[in-house]
Amino acid sequence: MAAEKALALVVRGTDWSETSRITTLFTREFGKVRALAKGGRRLKSNFDVAFDLLTVCHIVFLRKAHGGLDLLTEAQMAERFPALRHDLHALYAGYYVAELLADGTQDYDPHPPLFDAAVATLRGFTIPASRPSPPSPPEGASPEPAGRSLAHPFPGNAGGVSLPPTLDSVTAFELVWLKELGYSPRLDVCTGCGARVLPPGAVRVLFSPSAGGVLCSVCGPGVSDRRALSAAGLTALRGLTAPGEQPPPDLSPVRGELRALLGQLVSFVLGRRPRLLGYVEGR
Amino acid sequence: MVESGGVMQELLEELTKLPGIGPKSAERIAHFLLSGDRQNAVALADALRAVAEKIRPCRECFNLTDRELCPVCADPRRDGGLICVVEMPRDVNSFERAGTFRGLYHVLGGKLAPLDGMGPDRLTLNVLVERVRRGGVKEVILATSPTLEGDGTALFAANLLEGTGVTVTRLARGLPSGSSLELANAQMLADAMEGRRRF
Ligand SMILES: [Zn+2]
């Protein structure tokens, strides 16, 4: 058994016994690691943190040679993200990042850029300055009982009409996740025949998760999971994925469209719809 | 070693489902129950059956009870203006053992943990809002666990209660009483500093 050191983000935790936890960590150096933290639930254990979800920590662990759980021997908290405890949008987005790292990567398959993107996404959330007062019901509306509905407990988004801007950082993270897993969508030419997909004057193209990108008007109709993508949406996606190109400063006109497309693409790659997707999108 | 027939095997299997009981402990318990007075085993079986059949959630607070109302809700001396929101019935027991809280409880039935498929609709949050809306509640104390998921559950509940006019508070956290600064970890110290109050 070799002792290894790593910088790790806690992406899942399960209580194993009265005092121990099994923790899934996404490490910068080794990728996903599942390890037993003996005494990890005791307040005065030698672990500096109780392996709370979405905490970054420096860990030392003993790597088992033939499968089985690795054993954590040391852990020290490096960073926490306070906004997750003050803003539900940020919390759900953080859980979603954890889900894609825990369920969408393989054990011991390192992706340092993905680790960095996860931490940058979590760091990017800020604590709302003040909580906006709840919107009052319009005159003559049936008296809305006090309190929010379970479906829309977000301050300032009671109707669920506008998608929260936290989604843009989620979109950016998903694109890194896709790229690291080798599923970056092809956006320049048709994935079927290599033809140009956006002739001058065209307002939309076709996109297919199973084809792995955009499709021309000849190849597209034969693909079952095709969907329309507006020229503006395609331009925004190209901006977000192409290195060097600046993404558009405001994604709001295409936010809904990009969310639908990425939700479908991520579900295709993951093999199922992510649990947190509905939460992240406020649905 | 007793001949392990069908019923014995069944008992061992049931025992190993209990928390902290492995195959060895299960065998020890089974042999203890069968040695000496078998009446003990029958009494245990009766108690288990009674609990399984009679214990249910309190109509008001979802604490476990064998009546309509749990002993806390049924006690007229408790302060109905205070509701302490906890995750599980065992948390009520912890507060009751401490013996300092004189208000009422509300048991959520878990914590908001979407990664484990635990959504808000599986918690008793709607009933909590109902209780507050009925009036008479001045303060709701969110006593969910001091973890990200516990904090998230508290945040969700606080958002739901916004607009009801009730004061929403969160349990303090920080240094364990009777301990020393030396033994406190970085997070405990940070929490204690953040939650400090006037001397
Ligand atoms: Zn009760």
CA A42-B147-B96 angle, to 5 degrees, is: 75
Spatial separation of the C-alpha atoms in residues A271 and A267, rounded to whole Å: 6
- Please tell me the distance between residue B106's alpha carbon and the centre of ligand 1 in angstroms: 7
Place of tokens 């019901």: A137
The sign one gets for the Cα dihedral A189, A194, A200, A205 is negative
Q: State whether residue A153 sits within 8 Å of chain B by CB.
A: yes
- Give the start-to-end residue ranges of the domains of chain A: 2-82, 162-280
Contact A131 B163 (CB under 8 A): no
Q: Is residue B64 part of a domain?
A: no
Q: Is residue B95 part of a domain?
A: yes
Domain extent for B90: 80-170
Assess whether B41 and B87 both reside in one domain.
Answer: no
| pLDDT above 90 (res B148) | yes
Q: How far is A275 from chain B (nearest CA, A)?
A: 7
| pLDDT above 60 (res B3) | no
Count structural domains, chain B: 2
**Strands (DSSP E) along A80-230, which ranges?**
204-208, 213-215, 227-230
- Please tell me the distance between residue B92's alpha carbon and the centre of ligand 1 in angstroms: 10
Q: Is residue B90 part of a domain?
A: yes
Residue A49 has a pLDDT of 63
Assess whether B96 and B154 both reside in one domain.
Answer: yes
- B67-125 pLDDT, tens digit each: 999 999 999 999 999 999 999 999 999 999 999 999 999 999 999 999 999 999 999 99
Question: Which residue among B20, B132, B159 sits closest to A148, beta carbon to beta carbon?
Answer: B159
- Mutation for A interface: B115, B142, B160, most A CBs within 10 A: B115
Instruction: Reduce the DSSP state of residue A98 to 3 states and report it.
Output: helix
Assess whether B50 and B124 both reside in one domain.
Answer: no
Instruction: Reduce the DSSP state of residue A236 to 3 states and report it.
Output: helix
The CA R_g of chain A, rounded to the nearest whole Å, is: 22
Tell me how many residue pairs between chain A and chain B have CB atoms under 8 A apart.
Answer: 90
Instruction: Reduce the DSSP state of residue B167 to 3 states and report it.
Output: strand
DSSP B78: S
Q: Is residue B59 part of a domain?
A: no
Residue B188 has a pLDDT of 82
The sign one gets for the Cα dihedral B99, B103, B107, B112 is negative
Residue A46 has a pLDDT of 56
pLDDT along chain A (283 residues), means of 10: 90 78 94 85 57 92 83 88 94 97 96 97 86 43 48 47 74 95 93 83 88 90 92 89 67 89 96 95 79
Return the CATH number at B22: 1.10.8.420
Spatial separation of the C-alpha atoms in residues A69 and A58, rounded to whole Å: 18
Q: Is residue B85 part of a domain?
A: yes
Contact B120 A153 (CB under 8 A): yes
Q: Is residue B1 part of a domain?
A: no
- Please tell me the distance between residue B75's alpha carbon and the centre of ligand 1 in angstroms: 9
Chain A residues in contact with B120 (beta carbon < 8 A): 150, 153
Residue A14 has a pLDDT of 78
Confidence of residue B28 (pLDDT cuts 50, 70, 90): very high
Chain A residues in contact with B183 (beta carbon < 8 A): 44
Q: How far is A95 from chain B (nearest CA, A)?
A: 7
Assess whether B47 and B94 both reside in one domain.
Answer: no
Assess whether B33 and B106 both reside in one domain.
Answer: no
The residues in B 97-126 lying below 8 A from A, measured between CB atoms, are 114-115, 117, 120-121, 125-126
- Please tell me the distance between residue B105's alpha carbon and the centre of ligand 1 in angstroms: 7
Assess contact for A27 and A110: CB atoms under 8 A.
yes
Contact A153 B148 (CB under 8 A): no
Residue B187 has a pLDDT of 78
The CATH class of A2-82 is mainly beta
Return the CATH number at B117: 3.40.1360.10
- Please tell me the distance between residue B137's alpha carbon and the centre of ligand 1 in angstroms: 15
Q: Is residue B197 part of a domain?
A: no
- Mutation for A interface: B159, B164, B175, most A CBs within 10 A: B159
